[in-house]
Structure 1
Amino acid sequence: MNSLRSTIKSLYDGQNTRSRRFRYGLILFDSLTIIYFIATAALPSTPVITAVNAFFGLFILFDLAARLWISTNLRKELTRIYTLADLVVVISLVLAPLMAESFAFLRVLRGLRLIHAYHLLHDLRRESAFFRKHEDAILAAVNLLVFIFVITSLVFVLTFEEDAGVAGYVDALYFTVATLTTTGFGDITMTTTGGKLLSVFIMVVGVALFVQLARTIFQPSKIKHTCPECGLNRHETDAVHCKHCGTTLKIETKGDTGG
């Protein structure tokens, strides 16, 4: 049993070719499940969809169980946001066939798989130099994407009929983006108190995420420069000393051209 645990831990954390290929496979699987759950959020249940859901559910369950088994801090692993999201997704997949009247709500819960994108980012940070270079912008974009589709799923559940289908989900996405950008076309509106409060939440949080993304793209909060002493390679744009070890930095800048 210890040998099996060591093998699995090596696959998740090792640096050999087999481990890297395994993790790339997980990244691909995570990406596919995220796309699949978004694409099928508003589709009616069919035998094919039920079978595919069961396959994804079992795979997610095995992945989750493996991560928990090899974890050196089980309590910390259980409180990670993507672990909780996976638990909700697995439960929704298990309960859906048993609760037909609540199937729409349970199906939309799978949109929480988007939160697993944060775990995907953790893997990419370790595997991809391109990601490490553009990490701030990519993370800001993912924050915005997760917010949009989780809120879209919530709007779809609260506002549209269960049989609204793809057209209803597109309307929910349209309403979310229009509200988030404060465009306010007015062709789709919330009439209930809860709906109006949800719209306020979308505008307040969404605008903050938009500003964060724009700032990250046009005015990066960190600059890449490797400290010669400790190796820290992310510093404030105006840093004079390394915040980790205190070594004097010589970060190249374009300087002030005056005016």
Structure 2
Amino acid sequence: MVRPDDGREESALRLKLRQLYHGTTPAAQRFQLAILIVDIAIIAFFVVSPVLRDMKSFLWIDYSVAALLTLDIVARIYVASDPMKRLRQLPFLVDIFILVTLLFPESFANWGFLRILRLWTLSYTGMLWRPLERNGLAEWRDTARAVTNLVTFLLVVSGFVYTSFFRSNPGFEGYIDALYVTVATVTTTGFGDIVLPGIWGKTIAIITMLVGISLFVRLAQALFRPTKVFFPCPRCALQRHDPDAVHCKACGELLKIPDYGDS
């Protein structure tokens, strides 16, 4: 028998979870910090998991992470104002793929390096940036996002290079070699004594260079000339504007943004 107040209890639970995930109360901030710490620990596990697969406890850790990720995904869908829209978003689809690789680690062993994309999806939840905003450092958000994208790219490519070329090397030696090749390719400093063999290896190096250089340029832009500046509009309170904006694009109010040009 369904109790008449079940709907209200469900609504109260949804409201409570939404407040914890998106609120600014001390309890919500503690919850968000705890979620962020757990996510960072999970990402660290994803980074080192290619060299830990032979551990006896690996599957236990793998399935434990899968359980945590499942709870987080279900909770975020539950508190979403438009769950169907949430289901169609690319970060959500990436999280689902990551969950599949965790639930079937043997079948998706060669795709495990893509789990590091969790760092990219985490950057779209807002939890990475709220500490900056709470501490008056909102103008560093674009820079932090550029750093996150670059680190994600380096780790994903390193995982791919390790899986494809250096998996036979024992322990962390192979992973460090893969990371070295990735960084050397992205920075175009040259490989020295380590080279990716064959046409496939050269193709991977070319792609890595092209994408990596663009990410470095984006990071430099975020550091030295942000694409947006944080300046509250006196009428509508819109926070982000183009550096050379004269009028607010939302309400048309005349702005007096400090000079962010090159000096």
Aligned 1:5-24 pairs, distance under 5 A: 5-24=14-33
The 8 Å contact of residues 85 and 115 in structure 1, kept in 2 or not, is answered as no
Structure 1 distance, partners of 2:262, 2:72, is 52
Instruction: For 1:216, give the aligned amino acid.
Output: A
Matching residue of 1:94 = 103
Q: Aligned match of 2:40 in 31, 36, 42? A: 31
The 8 Å contact of residues 101 and 109 in structure 2, kept in 1 or not, is answered as no
Q: Aligned match of 1:70 in 56, 79, 85? A: 79
The 8 Å contact of residues 93 and 106 in structure 1, kept in 2 or not, is answered as no
Per-residue deviation, 1:238: 1.8
Aligned 1:42-191 pairs, distance under 5 A: 42-96=51-105, 99=106, 104-120=109-125, 122-129=126-133, 130-162=136-168, 164-191=170-197
The answer for unaligned runs of 5 or more in structure 1 is: none
Structure 1 distance, partners of 2:138, 2:24, is 17
> Cα RMSD between the aligned structures?
2.5
Per-residue deviation, 1:180: 0.6
- Secondary structure of 2:171's aligned partner: helix
- Secondary structure of 1:47's aligned partner: coil
- Select the structure with the greater relative contact order (CA < 8 A; seq sep ≥ 6): 1
How many residue pairs are counted as aligned between the two chains?
A: 252
The answer for unaligned runs of 5 or more in structure 2 is: 1-5
Per-residue deviation, 1:158: 1.4
1:213 lines up with 2:222 in the alignment = no
Q: 1:219 to 1:4 in 2, by over 3 A?
A: closer
The 8 Å contact of residues 82 and 118 in structure 1, kept in 2 or not, is answered as no
Instruction: For 1:132, give the aligned amino acid.
Output: A
The 8 Å contact of residues 156 and 172 in structure 1, kept in 2 or not, is answered as yes
Q: Which has the larger share of helix?
A: 1
Per-residue deviation, 1:91: 1.6
Identical amino acids, percent of aligned pairs: 35
Q: 1:17 to 1:188 in 2, by over 3 A?
A: same
Instruction: For 2:47, give the aligned amino acid.
Output: I
Matching residue of 1:41 = 50
Structure 1 distance, partners of 2:123, 2:82, is 19
The 8 Å contact of residues 132 and 140 in structure 2, kept in 1 or not, is answered as no
Per-residue deviation, 1:26: 0.9
Per-residue deviation, 1:227: 1.3
The 8 Å contact of residues 240 and 249 in structure 1, kept in 2 or not, is answered as yes
The 8 Å contact of residues 71 and 77 in structure 1, kept in 2 or not, is answered as yes
Per-residue deviation, 1:58: 0.7
Per-residue deviation, 1:190: 2.4
- Secondary structure of 1:169's aligned partner: helix
Instruction: For 2:154, give the aligned amino acid.
Output: I
Aligned 1:226-237 pairs, distance under 5 A: 226-237=232-243
Q: 1:103 to 1:47 in 2, by over 3 A?
A: farther
- Secondary structure of 2:245's aligned partner: coil
Per-residue deviation, 1:164: 4.0
